[in-house]
Every structure is written in C-alpha cells, then in structure tokens.
C-alpha cells in the first residue's frame, strides 16, 4: 500500500531529499517480526531456547500510545489521558508523516522526530523501520550534522550523559545516575571531529544519539538498553566558546594526556556498572591511541576506523568484481589519510592480500594516500603521524606531489576514495581523468555530510558517461540516465555494519571485538545483496532491508567471535547458520510487540528525574 501525502505550499516534491511523500509502509517492513507464519521459520523457532523473545515493557516513554486497547489503558491508569480512539501504528504513522511533511526545514523535522522518540519510542521506531530510506537522513547523516552544530540552541532534553573534566574522580558515581538498570551498548564521542564539521563540543552528543537510534532500528537493540555519551573536555570552537547558550564547559580543549586519563576512568566505570557493555568510540579527532589501548581489554571498537573500513571494504569487494580487474592490478588513491582513510586502506589491503594472493608489501604498494600536504611519502620533510607511516611511499624518487591532480597523473588510479572533508575536491577534470585508467572507475566520495562530499552522484555519473561504480557517505537522490534508466547511488556509510557488529557482540557475549570480527562484518555485508540488487548494479543492499542485512552481518560477527574463542554465550553452541540467524532475529526489539497487559518496569529517566526533584506529579500513577 502506498500513500501520497500532500506537501505544504513552497516545498517541492523533488526538493525534499528524503522524498517523504513516497513511502510504502507495509512493503518496507522487513518481515522479521511481522511474518512469523512461514513454515520453515516456525521449525527453526521451535528449536530455539525458550524465553529468547524479548518482552516489550511499557515505560514512561511509551505509555500514551493510542494503539492501546481499553483494558490495557485501565491497567495502566491512563484512561482519559489518551484520546478515545484505538488506532493502529499504521494510522499513527500517517499522522507522523503528515506532520513531518508540514515542517519547513530539515532541522524542524529532526526536532519533531526527537520529540517523538522521547515521547513514544515504539511509534518512533515503527515509523523509522517502515520508512528507513526517507526517515534515516532526518535522524542520522546528514541532518544530524546540522543538529550537532546547533545543539545548544535546539536542546530541550538531555537524551544521554554529559561527562565533564570536572567530574573526574567521580565517574563511577555519575555513571550510576543513569536511570536504566540494563545497558547493552554505549556510543561515546568527545565531539572533536563530528562528521566533516570539526569540533562541535558537547553538540557531538547528537552523533551518539543518532548512531544508537540506528542500533535500535537496524539491529533491534532495545532503545532503553542504549546509552549516548559525550565527554566534555572543552572545545577549540570559538563560535561555541563565545555563545552564551553553549551547553558545554567553556574552556579550551584539553590534550591527549588528559583525554586518556579521563577515558581510563570512564572505561572502568562503565564496565563496573555493566560488565558486558559494548563501547563504540565515535568521531574523535585522534581515535588511534584509545583503540590501541582498549581493544584488547574491553569489548569495544572504533566506528570511524573499523566500521568505516568494513563497510567500504564490502562495497569495494562488489565493485572490484564489476571492474574485472584483479586486485594486484588495481591502484588506489585516497584523498584523506585520517582515521577513516587509513582504516579503509587497512581493510582493503587485507582483502587484496587474501584475494590477490599478495604479500603485505605487495598489497601495500597499491595504495597512495594524500593528506593536506600532498602525497604521503617518507622524504616529504615532515614528521608523519604514526597511523600514516605504514602507507607512506618510498618509491617517489625524491619527487613530491602536492595536489590531487598531480597524484592522479602520477598514479593513474582505478579506485579513488574521498575521506578528506573537502567538499567538491573531485572536480570534473579529475572524474573525467579516471575514465582513462579503467572502463569502470571506482569513485567513492565518502566525506559527510553532503556539503563535504568530494563530489555528487550527478557529477560522477555525468563525467564518466554513467560508467562509474559509485558510493558516497551521505545519501544522494537517484539519477536518471540518458536512456531513462534510473540509477541508485550506493551509500557507503558505516551504518551498514556497526549495528550488526554491536548485535553480533551482544548475542555472542563477546569478550573482545577483534579484526577477524570486523572483517567478517564486511564479508557478510558484501554477500548479502539479492540477485535483483546485483542485477540493478548496486554495491550495497537496499536500505529498506537493513534489518535483514544487519542480522546477517551479526551472524558473521558471531561466527568470527566463536572462531577466535571470544564468544561466551553457551546458548549458541552448535547452532547452524539458519538457527543462529533466527536466534538473532528473535532477540531483536520489535516496536509493534506491545504487551496486552501492564508490566512492572524500571523507572525511565523522566520518572527518575521527577522523583529526584519531588515534583508534584512524581508519585502519581503516571
């Protein structure tokens, strides 16, 4: 069933990047929880351990859902507090979509959706899951970037934890203040490099919130078991320091030493309260030291180095196949040699070693990294950051290549990656040149948000005569080719893997997240495309299948955890793939699985806050 929502005057249909008017709620449902009648699935389900289907308790943030039957309303003591009609989520979603379409700006849509998540998360996640393609860009990249930039102006609810330098020495006590008893996963940022937008201080918490919303929507981690964190060690952003509304500490950002000291304490505090917690590091300006220090001590990973490495590896596996050029004959230029650039280069190098039967040295020589000073070489005259050294060239005969143009002429690459934060860096000239070196050039402008993308999908298609194999970090609209064919832009965004990595680690009760598990996430993602998606020339699965895909990614992660003896969940011992996937799906939160009776639940943050503050309504039956 599809529905056309009228747009308000002034908002053109094509202008809306998210095209909120076209959706198909029933078609978009992945079928995981809604299609339990399939005979094979029934058999598999019957063989699963009992009590694996999570109940969906009613919390303060889901109490006023108009889908509740009269008896449930009576049990909850909310009769009269909810409009009389009893209506399905599908009907409520129509109302939400109308409300979203009526908002004039994307940030207004973001604010509306945040409010919905905080007031009725079951409805929010039903809306998101059923309309992934349209809603994801509004709660995640790219609009979340604008939200982070303006966080101190649009702020109305904390939605996570803010931990400041002044709190050091007391982090355990402060972590104990989080009102939810169980937390499976946290996303921690220091706000120092939010997307390609730089230092946004405590505004970076928007990224933690956005990532965790996708953990719930894509991998079914229960929303109350997710914890967004920003650590506030100051900011070097003058605009924020001069803003009277800024919500963070008004001091210059502290250095690496203080950061590590703070993180040491935080890691212990998190692990003490929730011994099985998964910790995802996100958008740190220099994320290498923390990953190196904690990856063998805690169940943690860095999304920008490892998640991005895995998701782009998956796209490259599929794209390289299309080029028909074997790995040993590919040449790769990376614009950007930071955490994402080096993380991606490392993962692709692993694949080239395996698939091309190359030694480490042979594989490494296929990579040319370019940073703000030009081609990364041993004799460039500056002290290279440690993470770049492995890819630094020594075969440049003393010549330095300063611009991307010069590097392209020198290397003649078959693959061009953008992780530089420089919007428009892949000029018409550069894109056209790429067609001289390969019939199907691989061009991935991966910087976020859209304004930082190294080129657009339109430019890449036009200037390669529609031959490009393309993926971008942020979403781009479809392109209509010369013969009327519609091409879809691949979205090479770590959202295709981090939910599955987290879910795989939770399901296996992994003690660590190691390279084999990250690599497996890429392999399982690459092989998750349907024959139809392959035939349509896609490099990544369609986003409306993300729950199905995340379950497969999680399967790969669990299998790798088992191989590496870091899986600790005895329930999964001996399960075949089919049973294990079903087990994973059964663990997924389903926003429509509303219980028919009220259940006792832990208080949520609002209840907890009101009780702490002794507000008049704090002990009411609400």
Ligand X SMILES: O=C(O)C[C@H](O)C(=O)O
Q: What is the CA radius of gyration of the chain?
A: 24
User: Of 473, 475, 502, 591, which lies in the binding site for ligand NAD, with binding defined by CB under 6 A?
Assistant: 473
Q: Answer yes or no: are the C-beta atoms of 262 and 165 closer than 8 Å.
A: yes
Query: Angle at the Cα of 553 (from 32 to 442), degrees rounded to 5?
Result: 120
Determine if residue 545 is labeled as part of a ligand binding site.
no
Q: Indicate the DSSP class of residue 583.
A: H
Does 192 sit near ligand NAD (CB under 6 A)? no
Does 190 sit near Mg ion (CB under 5 A)? no
Choose one: 316-324, 329-337, 536-544, 559-567; the region binding ligand NAD (CB under 6 A).
329-337
508 binds, among Mg ion, ligand X, ligand NAD, none (CB under 5 to 8 A by kind): none
Determine if residue 448 is labeled as part of a ligand binding site.
yes
How big is the site for ligand X, counted in residues (CB under 6 A)?
Answer: 9
Determine if residue 304 is labeled as part of a ligand binding site.
yes
Kindly tell me which of 346 and 587 has the beta carbon lying closer to ligand X.
Answer: 346
Name the strand (E) or helix (H) holding 93: helix 89-102
100 binds, among ligand X, Mg ion, ligand NAD, none (CB under 5 to 8 A by kind): none
Calculate the alpha carbon distances from 481 to 191, 203, 345, 458, 486 in Å: 40, 40, 31, 10, 6
Query: Rounded distance, CA 98 to CA 137, Å?
Result: 17
Does 473 sit near ligand X (CB under 6 A)? yes
In the complex, the smallest distance separating the C-beta of residue 449 from ligand X, rounded to whole angstroms, is 8
371 binds, among ligand NAD, Mg ion, ligand X, none (CB under 5 to 8 A by kind): ligand NAD
245, exposed or middle or buried, with CB in 10 Å at 0-12, 13-18, 19+? Answer: exposed
Does 453 sit near ligand X (CB under 6 A)? no
Task: Compose the 416-435 pattern: x for residues touching ligand NAD by CB under 6 A, - for all others.
Answer: ---xxxx-------------
Does 304 sit near ligand X (CB under 6 A)? yes
Crossing angle for the helix pair 39-46 and 577-587, nearest 10 degrees?
Answer: 80
Q: Answer yes or no: are the C-beta atoms of 539 and 319 closer than 8 Å.
A: yes
Does 339 sit near ligand X (CB under 6 A)? no
Kindly tell me which of 196 and 504 has the beta carbon lying closer to ligand NAD.
Answer: 196
In the complex, the smallest distance separating the C-beta of residue 573 from ligand NAD, rounded to whole angstroms, is 34
The partner residues of 185 in beta bridges, in order of sequence, read 226, 278
372 binds, among ligand NAD, Mg ion, ligand X, none (CB under 5 to 8 A by kind): ligand NAD
Look at the alpha carbons of 320, 322, 328, 332 in this order and tell me if their dihedral is positive or negative.
negative
Report 278-297 residues binding ligand X (CB under 6 A): 283
Look at the alpha carbons of 23, 109, 123, 128 in this order and tell me if their dihedral is positive or negative.
positive
Does 371 sit near Mg ion (CB under 5 A)? no
Determine if residue 180 is labeled as part of a ligand binding site.
no
Report 171-200 residues binding ligand X (CB under 6 A): 195
Query: Rounded distance, CA 583 to CA 601, Å?
Result: 25
Report 234-263 residues binding ligand X (CB under 6 A): none
The partner residues of 369 in beta bridges, in order of sequence, read 334
Examine the residue annotation and report whether 412 is marked as an active-site residue of this protein. Answer: no
Kindly tell me which of 206 and 591 has the beta carbon lying closer to Mg ion.
Answer: 206
Does 522 sit near ligand NAD (CB under 6 A)? no
Query: Rounded distance, CA 215 to CA 233, Å?
Result: 26
Q: Indicate the DSSP class of residue 377.
A: B
Calculate the alpha carbon distances from 52 to 48, 100, 261 in Å: 8, 36, 39
335 binds, among Mg ion, ligand NAD, ligand X, none (CB under 5 to 8 A by kind): ligand NAD
Query: Rounded distance, CA 48 to CA 571, Å?
Result: 9
Task: Compose the 64-93 pattern: x for residues touching Mg ion by CB under 5 A, - for all others.
Answer: ------------------------------
User: Of 28, 100, 148, 195, which lies in the binding site for ligand NAD, with binding defined by CB under 6 A?
Assistant: 195
Point out the catalytic residue in the list 140, 294, 368, 519. 140
Does 283 sit near Mg ion (CB under 5 A)? yes
549, exposed or middle or buried, with CB in 10 Å at 0-12, 13-18, 19+? Answer: buried
Query: Rounded distance, CA 223 to CA 216, Å?
Result: 6
User: Of 193, 222, 380, 552, which lies in the binding site for ligand NAD, with binding defined by CB under 6 A?
Assistant: 193
Distance of CA 215 to the CA centre of its chain: 8
How many helices and strands in the chain, by DSSP H and E? 27, 16
Examine the residue annotation and report whether 140 is marked as an active-site residue of this protein. Answer: yes
User: Of 131, 280, 306, 494, which lies in the binding site for ligand X, with binding defined by CB under 6 A?
Assistant: 494
Q: Answer yes or no: are the C-beta atoms of 221 and 211 closer than 8 Å.
A: no
In the complex, the smallest distance separating the C-beta of residue 339 from ligand NAD, rounded to whole angstroms, is 4
Residues contributing to the site for ligand NAD (CB under 6 A)? 193, 195-196, 304, 308, 311, 335-341, 370-372, 419-422, 446-448, 452, 473, 492-494
Residues contributing to the site for Mg ion (CB under 5 A)? 283, 304
Residues contributing to the site for ligand X (CB under 6 A)? 141, 195, 283, 303-304, 448, 473, 493-494
């Amino acid at each position: 069933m599809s529905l056309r929502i009228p747009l308000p005057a002034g908002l053109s249909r094509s202008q809306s990047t998210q095209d909120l008017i076209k959706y198909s709620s029933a078609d978009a449902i992945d079928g995981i929880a809604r299609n339990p009648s399939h005979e094979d699935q029934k058999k598999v389900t019957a063989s699963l351990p009992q009590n694996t289907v999570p109940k969906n308790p009613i919390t303060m943030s889901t109490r006023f859902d108009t889908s509740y039957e009269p008896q449930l309303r009576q049990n909850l003591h909310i009769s009269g507090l909810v409009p009389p009609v009893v209506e399905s989520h599908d009907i409520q979603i129509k109302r939400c979509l109308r409300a979203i379409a009526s908002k004039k700006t994307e940030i207004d849509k973001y604010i509306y959706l945040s409010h919905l998540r905080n007031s009725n998360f079951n409805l929010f996640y039903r809306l998101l899951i059923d309309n992934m393609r349209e809603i994801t860009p509004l709660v995640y990249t790219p609009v979340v970037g604008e939200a982070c930039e303006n966080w101190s102006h649009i702020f109305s609810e904390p939605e996570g934890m803010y931990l400041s330098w002044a709190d050091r020495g007391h982090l355990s006590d402060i972590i104990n203040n989080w009102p939810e008893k169980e937390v499976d996963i946290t996303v921690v940022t220091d706000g120092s490099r939010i997307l390609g937008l730089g230092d946004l201080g405590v505004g970076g918490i928007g990224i933690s919130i956005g990532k965790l919303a996708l953990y719930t929507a894509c991998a079914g981690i229960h929303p109350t078991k997710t914890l967004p964190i920003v650590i506030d060690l100051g900011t070097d952003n003058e605009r924020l320091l001069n803003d009277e509304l800024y919500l963070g500490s008004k001091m210059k950002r502290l250095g690496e030493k203080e950061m590590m000291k703070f993180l040491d304490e935080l890691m212990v505090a998190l692990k003490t309260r929730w011994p099985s917690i998964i910790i995802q590091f996100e958008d740190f300006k220099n994320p290498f030291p923390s990953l190196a220090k904690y990856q063998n001590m805690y169940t943690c990973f860095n999304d920008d180095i490892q998640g991005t490495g895995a998701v782009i590896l998956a796209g490259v596996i599929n794209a390289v196949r299309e080029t028909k050029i074997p790995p040993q004959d590919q040449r790769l230029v990376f614009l950007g040699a930071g955490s994402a650039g080096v993380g991606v280069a490392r993962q692709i190098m692993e694949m080239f070693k395996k698939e091309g039967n190359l030694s480490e040295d042979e594989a490494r020589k296929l990579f040319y990294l370019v940073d703000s000073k030009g081609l990364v070489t041993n004799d460039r005259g500056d002290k290279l950051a440690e993470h770049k050294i492995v890819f630094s060239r020594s075969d440049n005969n003393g010549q330095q290549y300063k611009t991307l143009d010069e590097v392209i002429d020198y290397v003649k690459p078959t693959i061009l990656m953008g992780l530089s934060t420089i919007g428009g860096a892949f000029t018409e000239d550069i894109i056209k040149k790429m067609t001289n070196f390969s019939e199907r050039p691989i061009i991935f402008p991966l910087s976020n948000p859209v304004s930082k993308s190294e080129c657009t999908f339109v430019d890449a298609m036009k200037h390669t005569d529609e031959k490009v194999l393309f993926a971008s970090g942020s979403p781009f609209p479809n392109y209509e080719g010369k013969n009327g064919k519609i091409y879809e832009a691949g979205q090479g965004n770590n959202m295709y893997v981090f939910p599955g990595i987290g879910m795989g680690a939770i399901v296996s009760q992994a003690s660590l997240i190691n390279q084999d598990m990250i690599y497996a996430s890429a392999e399982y993602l690459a092989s998750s495309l349907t024959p139809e998606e392959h035939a349509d020339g896609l490099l990544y699965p369609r986003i409306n299948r993300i729950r199905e895909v995340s379950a497969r990614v999680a399967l790969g992660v669990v299998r790798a955890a088992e191989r590496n003896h870091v899986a600790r969940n005895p329930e999964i011992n001996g399960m075949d793939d089919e049973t294990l996937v079903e087990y994973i799906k059964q663990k997924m939160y389903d926003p429509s699985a509303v219980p028919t009776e009220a259940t006792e639940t832990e208080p949520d943050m609002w209840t907890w806050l009101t009780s702490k503050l002794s507000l008049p309504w704090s002990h009411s039956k609400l």
